Structure 1
Amino acid sequence: MIVRIMGEGQVTLAESRLADLNELDEELLAEMENGDGPGFRATLQALLAKVRELGEPLPDDSLEPSDLILPSPDATLKEVQDLLSDEGLIPGTA
């Protein structure tokens, strides 16, 4: 699958690796619900770092349709809330 991190670019990520992101996605949702700004920021950074670690970057000139769009590292709590689905940021994890 193709994952876009807003403001950074795209990576390819095996769908089987989505399970590796479950815990961080659930933690991020809980922090958002509790209004934990510092926790939210740290977990968002950790989630994006994990995507970068598990994914393979696409060339900058590649414009593939994204299967999943994640917020930029400096996204606000409100911006992330706007991206949420019923399943959180990562499908099948909430």
Structure 2
Amino acid sequence: MIVRILGEGQYDLDEAAMDKLNELDAAVESACQGTDEAVFDAALAALLDGVRSLGTAHPVDAIDSSDLILPGPGSTLAEVSEMLGDEGLIPG
């Protein structure tokens, strides 16, 4: 699976990583229901760090479409709230 972090690049992740990423995604979704920017920032940072640590950088010269697109670091609570689907940022 190829996951893109906007403004950063793509990462290759295997299906085994998705359970952990779904946990982190649930924390982002929960943080978006509140108004505490610090809680939201920490949850988004944890999700993006999870993608980076569980995945490997996708070759920069490869032109492949992303299976998932996540907001980049520094995204606001409002921006991410607009990106959320019924299943959060990561379906599953």
Query: Given the two structures, how large is their TM-score scaled by the length of structure 2?
Result: 0.93
CA distance in 1: counterparts of 2:57 and 2:24, whole angstroms: 21
CA distance in 1: counterparts of 2:56 and 2:28, whole angstroms: 23
Q: State the Cα distance separating 1:25 from its structure 2 match.
A: 1.2
Question: Secondary structure at 2:3's aligned position in 1?
Answer: strand
* 2:26 aligned partner, one-letter code: E
Q: State the Cα distance separating 1:22 from its structure 2 match.
A: 2.2
Deviations along 1:55-85, whole A, 9 cap, x unmatched?
Answer: 1101222221100000001111121112111
Q: How many residues get paired?
A: 92
Question: Secondary structure at 1:11's aligned position in 2?
Answer: strand
Query: Given the two structures, how large is their TM-score scaled by the length of structure 1?
Result: 0.91
**Counterpart for residue 21 of structure 1:** 21
Question: What are the ranges of 5 or more consecutive residues in structure 1 without an aligned counterpart?
Answer: none
Question: What are the ranges of 5 or more consecutive residues in structure 2 without an aligned counterpart?
Answer: none
The percentage of counterpart residues that share the same residue type is 52
List structure 1 segments (4+ residues) > 6 angstroms apart after TM superposition. Answer: none
